[in-house]
A and B are shown apart, each in its own frame.
Chain A
């Protein structure tokens, strides 16, 4: 059968949901970052698909920007993660709750 726009959108939605679930469930900081990457990339898929559908490049541009930003996010994120690991040599989320209330 013919793969249409909707399939891509559905796929990206599913991926996005997976990402959301991951974000909610993961206790490991690194895994959390992966989950967020999934979120962004799911969006990229649909952007690409839609831009193909409309036949203009804006969507792909957006996708590129998203990729770039995702990359930089990873950079910052990993930096923070390493510092945290140095200090506590653990990357478990549940340890990070000194501030509350």
Chain B
């Protein structure tokens, strides 16, 4: 006969849940609306989602304010944990989503967006991600991970093409395997320490001085497998290119950013304490994984014939590049991670959106795939502005100064240098050089080749509507004038990261 549990509400500190709950409420609202009146226009849902995302942003800002005053916030039986990383990650997640949602407003109708469920799932997914980043409880991370993943599988499948389904199935199956890895890893740590809260695990392990190192390593391995899968680190990356190709360009762009930042935060929470407490093995492993991911992905990207697939590989390579920050594990590197990802988010979203607006419903003969290189041949003659913007994004991805991503690379490599990882820094630099080639390839096609057959540039902007143009314009402006914003952003990030002790 247990006594009734009595807990005071304020001790629960429910406010910490607000940021996650808002999108979930939004999702439910959408579903309810759909119940009462179906086949409403997608614009409605888009707007509702945007409103809720804005509210979400507000909530996050509020938590940020509190964090600034009173440091890390625990809540709900110490399950929730709002620190700098959580806030930054959520900002990126919600911000990127704000850029993504309006992409639904395409010119030609793609029927995934005509379902209200699409938006509901989308918001659920956000909630999942936010849970993941805002806790150090493995259960909650697991739950968040799966919620978001399952939603994501469905979103991909909703694109409703053969390739889309294939992608979804592949992603799903491998995701299930990854889930197995994660739970097993969590189990091992639970077995070792009797706790599933990362900081407690850390304390226990340090107390017993990593007595059974072997099992720690096993657990780490499994978690690395699971996280590596979501972060598409080689050799767990194999899903990425197919899924990116199968899903719509917009979704692909979204996938290349939001899930990964969430997982990066998890990785930071999980691995950095291990590295700092001298698990050299993990350091070596990460070193190898990072280098292999960067290099191999680059090399595969070289040989792609389809721009979207190339971008998929390039995102893998970028992920590897950023994973180095977790390996280095200094404040500078962790700040570099967030800086890089912010810059990467709108550059990459911009690039994918450019593909998105050039999406044809039916494939012309001379194209092997939706976005094959030769589709863009001679684009500058037919659609100069679009070509210039696309070229801009490519240069930025290649790390040509002064465009956005250059500053990320700069700070990241610098952090490697000051972290003492000389060779790593060189490898990162050389990889950027290799990457230069395939970004250049697209520029070459757009600016230096002659069009294959179609002389009208309409195909490249067939989907363009004002919202899309706005977003792309925003991304382009951000890419060009990033250097103005670098300083405040960097200071903000560094402050938060430092304050939360990373």
Residues of A within 8 A of B (CB): 9, 12, 16, 19, 23, 29, 32-33, 36, 39-40, 42-43, 46-47, 50-51, 54, 56, 58-59, 61-62, 65-66, 69, 72-73, 76-77, 79-81, 83-84, 87, 96, 98-101
Of the candidates A23, A32, A47, A77, the one whose C-beta lies within 8 Å of that of B190 is A47
Of the candidates A29, A47, A100, the one whose C-beta lies within 8 Å of that of B187 is A47
Of the candidates A43, A58, A59, A72, the one whose C-beta lies within 8 Å of that of B150 is A72
- List 13 additional contacts besides A39-B176, A65-B139, A101-B304; criterion CB under 8 Å: A29-B173, A40-B180, A46-B191, A47-B187, A54-B194, A58-B195, A59-B190, A62-B187, A72-B150, A73-B176, A80-B165, A99-B163, A99-B241
With a cutoff of 8 Å between Cβ atoms, the chain B residues found around residue A19 in the complex are 180
Contact with A along B143-156 (1 / 0, CB 8 A): 10010001001100
With a cutoff of 8 Å between Cβ atoms, the chain A residues found around residue B246 in the complex are 99
A73 and B150 contacting across the interface, CB-CB below 8 Å: yes
B153 and A43 contacting across the interface, CB-CB below 8 Å: no
Residues of B within 8 A of A (CB): 138-139, 142-143, 146, 150, 153-154, 157, 162-163, 165-170, 172-173, 176-177, 179-180, 183-184, 186-187, 190-191, 194-196, 241-242, 245-246, 303-305, 309
* Residue of chain B at shortest CB distance from A69: B146
A40 and B163 contacting across the interface, CB-CB below 8 Å: no
Q: Tell me the bound Cα distance from A12 to B167 in angstroms.
A: 31
Least CB distance from A40 to B in Å reads 6
Q: Tell me the bound Cα distance from A13 to B179 in angstroms.
A: 16
* Residue of chain B at shortest CB distance from A100: B242
Least CB distance from A17 to B in Å reads 11
A66 and B183 contacting across the interface, CB-CB below 8 Å: yes
* Residue of chain A at shortest CB distance from B137: A58
Of the candidates B139, B172, B245, B305, the one whose C-beta lies within 8 Å of that of A76 is B172
With a cutoff of 8 Å between Cβ atoms, the chain A residues found around residue B162 in the complex are 87, 98
Given A36-B176, A58-B190, is A43 in contact with B166 using a C-beta cutoff of 8 Å? no
Least CB distance from B269 to A in Å reads 17
A84 and B165 contacting across the interface, CB-CB below 8 Å: yes
Q: Tell me the bound Cα distance from A40 to B72 in angstroms.
A: 33
What are 30 of the A-B contact pairs (CB < 8 Å)?
A: A12-B187, A16-B180, A16-B184, A19-B180, A39-B179, A39-B180, A39-B184, A40-B183, A42-B184, A43-B183, A50-B190, A58-B190, A58-B195, A69-B146, A72-B146, A73-B146, A73-B176, A77-B172, A79-B154, A80-B157, A81-B169, A87-B162, A87-B165, A96-B169, A98-B162, A99-B163, A99-B241, A99-B245, A99-B246, A100-B242
